[in-house]
Amino acid sequence: MRSQRGAARIARARSRLKPLVLSVSLAAVLLGGCDHSDRSDWERKNDAQLDRDVSDPVPPFPAFPGRSTLLEFEPRAPRDFRYYIDGATLNVDPKKGVINYVLVARSLSGVENVAFEAINCKSDEYRVYAFGRADGTWGGRPGGWRPIAESRQPQYRSLQRDYFCPQSNPISDAEEGRRALQDGGHPWSRGFDADSARRP
């Protein structure tokens, strides 16, 4: 008698499970057939950024900065650090509007932070390729391009506006950038004519 009741209970349970299994299977089929191309603007924007970072290779790492080639500049911000560009590492791609360089930020206590970075004058963005280690080597994962306007670090805006991208125009070569750093700013950033900056 008990065995008959048990068999009846199992049969009823199986009958209740069938619709549930069918519902789950149907949901899986419907989700699998959904058109995922209808994505948000945020998703499309970030996909494009990811594709751009992948297609924009990291340049070869330069030699670690030496003190004899450091050129100091002053961002327009409270001076908790002293900022330097290693003039020997300046590299300019005028077609892309990209300037690569090594930045040294020295705290008031003498601690130095070193980074291999880039600024894109055409898109108003910056990128950090690597950070310097205490043993004089490079490390860290390359970052993507980020808007300068959204950065809390004052050096990016200053390098873009006053030295490397005056009036949104990229410098033509590394020597022009070194001159701007030595002179305390690019002449274009003060409204001067281009000829005074790009003298032979």
pLDDT in tens, the chain (200 residues): 444 554 555 445 455 444 433 333 333 333 333 344 455 554 455 555 444 555 678 999 999 999 999 999 999 776 789 999 999 999 999 899 999 999 999 999 999 999 999 999 999 999 999 999 999 999 999 999 999 999 999 999 999 999 999 999 999 999 999 999 999 999 988 765 544 444 44
DSSP string, 87-143: GGG-EEETTTTEEEEEEEEEETTS-EEEEEEEEETTTTEEEEEEEE-TTS-EESPPP
DSSP 72: E
For residue 24, the model assigns a pLDDT of 34
Confidence (pLDDT) at 45: 53
Closest CA to 177 of 96, 116, 90, 68: 90
- The residue written with tokens 């068999």 in the block is 7
The pLDDT of residue 55 is 61
Which residue in 129, 111, 69, 118 sits closest to 93, CA to CA?
118
Return the structure tokens found at 99.
Answer: 């300037």
pLDDT for the residue 123: 96
Reference 133, options 107, 109, 155, 115; nearest CA is 115
